[in-house]
Amino acid sequence: MLGTPEKRLALQAYEKILDLILNGPAVPGDVVNERRIAEIVGMSRTPVRDALLMLEGEGLLLRQGRALHVKRMRLEDYMDALQIRLLLEPTVARLAAGQVEKADTQRLREELEDILGSEPTERADRSLVRGVDESLHGLLADVAGNAQLSAIIRTLRRQTQMFDLRSMPERLEDTCQEHLAIVDAVEAGDGERAAAAMTAHLSRVRDSIIGRLTRT
C-alpha cells in the first residue's frame, strides 16, 4: 500500500497528467510514454507510473498490448456516461441543498458572473470555465456525504469532459446560467429546485449534442 508521501506524489502526478489529457497537448489515440510523461510533468517515474495506473483504472487510458493510449471517447460512451450522471447528480444536488457553506456558493456565483461579464475572447479560456465547473459539481458531490457516490461522479465527469466545450463552444453562456440556477437553489436550501436545475442542465447538454449531430 502506498505510504502518505508516495500517495501524495502520485496524486500530484495524476492531476498533472489529467490536465494534459483534458486540456492538451495529449489527444485521443496518443501513446502514453511513461518516461516522456515524467519529463513533461517534472516528476520521477514512480509516482507517474502510479498515476497512469489510476487513470487506466478510470478508463481514461486504455492498454493495447504493452502500450497505453489516451482513450478515444466515442459518442456512445459519452452519452452513456451522461445518462448515468442524469440519474445520479440531481440526487446529489438535492442532498447538498442547504449544506454548502455560504462562502462557497458566493465564490462560485462571483466566478460565474465574472465569466459572463468578460469579453468573448476571455471566455475562450477553457481552464477557467473548467475550473468553475469542476468546483461546482465536485463540491456538491462531496457535500452530499457519500464518498463512493462522489468518486463515481468524478470518474463519470472526467469521461464526459473529453467531449465538452471544445465541441460545443456555443454552450458556454448557457452553461454558466444553468450553473447559477443550481447555485441559487443549493444556497436557498431548496432540494427539489436544486435537483430540477441539475436535471435541466445535464438534459440541455445532452440535447445540444443531439442537435449538433442532427445538423451535421
Look-up: residue for cell 447538454? 205
Half-sphere exposure of 177 (CA within 13 A, CB side): 8
CATH number of the structural domain 4-70? 1.10.10.10
* Model confidence, pTM: 0.73
CATH 1.20.120.530 holds for 75-215: yes
| Extents of the domains making up the chain | 4-70, 75-215
Question: For residue range 30-56, what is the model confidence (pLDDT) as tens digits?
Answer: 898 999 999 999 999 999 999 999 888
Look-up: residue for cell 441559487? 184
Question: For residue range 122-162, what is the model confidence (pLDDT) as tens digits?
Answer: 554 556 667 788 889 989 999 988 888 888 888 888 777 76
Residue 34 grid cell: 511513461
Look-up: residue for cell 518516461? 35
